[in-house]
Amino acid sequence: MDISKAIDLDKYRHRNVTFAVNASRSGKHTYSRFDLSEAANRGLQKQFPTWTVGTPGHRELEFRLDVTDDQAVFSYRLTDSAFRFRSEQRLFSIAALRPTVAHALVWHSRPGRDECFLDPFCGSGTIIAERAYYPFGKLYGGDISEVAVEAAKQNVASIDGAVIRRWDACNLPLEQGTVDKVVSNLPFGEQILDPGEIYDLYLKFFKELKRIMKPNGSAFLMTDKVKELLKVTDQFGLECYVELELSLKGLHPKVLKVNF
């Protein structure tokens, strides 16, 4: 494939730039990630003979090659590492998600232009702030922690129409049948609650969720307490299945979709 067409690298075609490809690999292969990275570097130099491989910290263009079994994703870095935390302009509460992960969750939920969107356990509002990159009808977030709510309010202060409240997600100040979409990083029972309290919390939360969701609404919920969540949704007769598995800070939470 001519990669210059895929990611518009033509402006660098005749320039002496430094570059490098970072590679990762999972599955059964006869080569290492270092072999991968060297092969990709050679391939790029063939297409761009004026480029030289840079050293870590000294490279003008950076690429990634992630191979999983027989699938490869080749990507070009558009932003520097500060962008991972939205250039340090955000406050993050305990158990906060990285904005990039929050954004991926929002994107995965296929944001609808006029939808009423809710994160009932919003912490410092990372998901709400990322959701605001797409058009929305209404945007609600809240948390039981006063500190988290204060951080979330600051984080979304510039977003017109975003409402952040202190609340208990099991008793929400929202009308019956009003919410189209929920994306939320649920308490897992690791940092905030005792694992034994999780099932009871999910049970009470779902009673409330069933009340406020519109028919055909959907929720994308991240947790590593999958058994507890499936047991609860089963009790309420809701369709619920695992859509994604993530690897985050040594944990492997899943994202489950619940249809109302």
Nearer of residues 159 and 170 to ligand SAM, judged by Cβ = 170
Site for ligand SAM in 61-120 (CB under 6 A): 93, 95-97
Please, what is the minimum distance in Å from the beta carbon of residue 121 to ligand SAM? 3
Three-state DSSP state, 168: strand
CB nearer ligand SAM, residue 64 or residue 254: 254
Does 246 sit near ligand SAM (CB under 6 A)?
A: no
Nearest distance in Å: CB 260, ligand SAM:
19
109-148 positions binding ligand SAM, by CB under 6 A: 121-124, 126-127, 143-145, 148
Q: How far is CA 87 from the centre of its chain?
A: 17
The minimum distance between CB 217 and ligand SAM, in angstroms, equals 19
Phi, psi of 136 (to 5 degrees): -145, 165
Please give the helix or strand (H or E) that residue 219 lies within, else none.
strand 213-223
- Are the CB atoms for 18 and 59 separated by under 8 Å? yes
257 neighbors 244 (Cβ within 8 angstroms): no
Backbone φ, ψ for residue 3 (5° rounding)? -70, -20
> In the bound complex, what is the minimum distance in angstroms from residue 240's beta carbon to ligand SAM?
19
Single residue of 41, 109, 185, 233 touching ligand SAM by CB under 6 A = 185
What's the DSSP call for residue 88?
G
226 binds ligand SAM (CB under 6 A): no
Among 23, 67, 131, 187, binds ligand SAM (CB under 6 A): 187
- Note whether 198 binds ligand SAM by CB under 6 A: no
Please report, for the chain, how many H helices and E strands are present, in that order: 7, 11
Q: Which two tokens stand for residue 126?
A: 């990372």
Instruction: Choose between 37 and 124: whose C-beta lies nearer to ligand SAM.
Output: 124
Phi, psi for residue 135 in degrees, rounded to 5? -60, 145
Half-sphere exposure of 181 (CA within 13 A, CB side): 22
Chain contacts with ligand SAM (rule: CB under 6 A): 93, 95-97, 121-124, 126-127, 143-145, 148, 168-170, 185, 187, 192
